[in-house]
Amino acid sequence: MRKDWQSICRYGKQILGKIILTGDRPTGKLHIGHYVGSLKRRVELQNSGEFDQILIMIADAQALTDNADNPEKVRQNIIEVALDYLACGLDPEKSDIFIQSQVPELTELSFYYMNLVTVSRLQRNPTVKSEIQMRNFEASIPVGFFTYPISQASDITAFKATTVPVGEDQLPMLEQTKEIVRKFNAVYGETLVEPEILLPDNQACLRLPGTDGKAKMSKSLGNCIYLSDSAEEVSKKIRGMYTDPNHLKVSDPGTIEGNTVFTYLDAFCKDEHFAKYLPEYENLDALKAHYQRGGLGDVKVKKFLNKVMEEELAPIRARRKEWEQRIPEVYEILERGSKKAQGLAAETLAEVKRAMKINYFEDKELIAEQSEKYRNQAAE
Ligand code: TRP
């Protein structure tokens, strides 16, 4: 994270600013992978008071780049994502939550950035590559999908974001954004701000595996624990979680690596949890050592994980229940956030157009110069 305060120029007015922009595609409810990978951090950053502006975007336009035939899914999931945000503790008084499609300036910026990016550069983007495979797009990639890294650069630069807290999978998007910023500033003059990615510092949180031990949590694999799951659902999913397939008897020595229950403990558990729920162990290292030695059963570890996770998930679940009874208010929050975001993006777009010399009507000098030229010609 950038420690110093970066000065940012808006309309020639110097203001100091540390700005966060991040978001999620509304293609489903958010799960605990989203939570440990980014959401939890956002709430901490929000409450740190260190940031002048926090913008959280529901990326519906981006979701449509690979769900063009399913707009209803995107529409329905906007509220789910918003509820998950509020449930986790994003506070509309401190953070502006907005909907991407309601800020048309983002689309306009993308059109100009497209001139600064080559097709081969997009083809090399590892996230795009793997998503093309995942979605069987090899034969026919929609142009909109192919160019979504450019649209993501617009999302970030429109707000002059300095800090982008996201999961590791978004690294290539941030690289692309930085390249666009450098190129733009080199060609048109210093205008855009280069953002920094903020990754989780805990290795287990970087990429939380699914409950089946597969590398990624995904709705289609059915291996997610959702923030909106009930306590019973969470407990059932933990009971069925992938561990060490060779750890058959309690007395068998067990393996920690690739053992989902321990990866989740790495992500969620703190020393205090042992004093509270499992006082016979001092900390996670002691528990792991016993498991590796043999003599510790999966059921006991899973029960402990369930208690640890419940401590974090129960308040989120309760807050979600409250917000679920205030849906019109949630839409008002989104509308207010979208208007605010649009105002900010419009300022940047005006600067961009000025830098690109496509601000004809506000350029009085241009008009005067050209009038003069033709007046002189007529006088000759
Ligand atoms: N690509 C992100 C995701 O898949 C969503 C997103 C869109 C985003 N624009 C962004 C994230 C800008 C951070 C910054 O979840």
Tell me, yes or no, whether 120 and 183 share the same domain.
Answer: yes
Residues 62 and 194 in one domain: yes
Question: Nearest residue CA, atom 5 of ligand 1?
Answer: 24
> What is the whole-number distance in angstroms between the Cα of residue 304 and the centre of ligand 1?
34
Write down the residue that tokens 């509309």 correspond to.
92
347, 299: one domain? no
Same domain, 165 and 262: no
In this structure, are 158 and 271 located in the same domain?
no
We report the CATH number of the domain holding residue 306 as 1.10.240.10
Give me ligand 1 centre to Cα 52, in Å: 20
Ligand 1 geometric centre to CA of 24 (Å): 5
DSSP string, 229-271: --HHHHHHHHHT----TT--STTS----TT-HHHHHHHHH--H
Select from 165, 174, 164, 161 the least CA-distant residue to 125. Answer: 174
Residue 267 and residue 331 in one domain: no
Total domain count, the chain = 2
- The mean-pLDDT minimum among 19-23, 135-139, 372-376 falls in 135-139
Distance CA 259, CA 326 (A): 40
Residue 124 domain-assigned (yes or no): yes
Expressed as residue numbers, the domain containing 81 is: 5-208+327-367
CATH number at residue 31: 3.40.50.620
**Ligand 1 binding pocket includes 153 (Cβ within 6 Å):** no
* Residue 287 and residue 171 share a domain: no
| pLDDT of the residue at 380 | 85
**Local structure of 97: helix, strand or coil:** strand
> Does residue 379 fall inside a structural domain?
no
| Mean pLDDT on 126-147 | 87
Q: What is the mean pLDDT of the chain?
A: 93
- Answer yes or no: is 218 within a domain: no
- The answer to whether 141 touches 132, Cβ cutoff 8 Å, is yes
Q: Please give the distance, rounded to the nearest whole angstrom, from the Cα atom of residue 294 to the centre of ligand 1.
A: 43
- Say yes or no: 259 and 308 in one domain: yes
pLDDT digits (tens, 9 = 90+) for 199-221: 988 888 888 999 999 888 888 88
Residue 256 sits in the same domain as residue 200: no
Q: pLDDT class for 119, splitting at 50, 70, 90?
A: very high
pLDDT tens digit sequence for 44-95: 999 999 999 999 999 999 999 999 999 999 999 999 999 999 999 999 999 9
pLDDT at residue 219, as a whole number? 82
How much of the chain is helix, strand and coil, in % rounded to 5? 60, 10, 35
Q: What pLDDT digit, counting tens, does each position of 137-176 carry?
A: 777 889 999 999 999 999 999 999 999 999 888 999 999 9
Our mutation pick for probing the ligand 1 site, out of 22, 84, 198, counting the most ligand atoms within 8 A of Cβ, is 22
Looking at ligand 1, which atom is closest to the CA of residue 155? 12
Residues 279 and 144 reside in one and the same domain: no
165 domain-assigned = yes
pTM: 0.92
333-342 average pLDDT score? 98
What separation in Å is there between the alpha carbon of 159 and the centre of ligand 1? 14
Question: Do 144 and 279 have their domain in common?
Answer: no
- pLDDT tens-place string over residues 245-259: 999 999 999 999 999
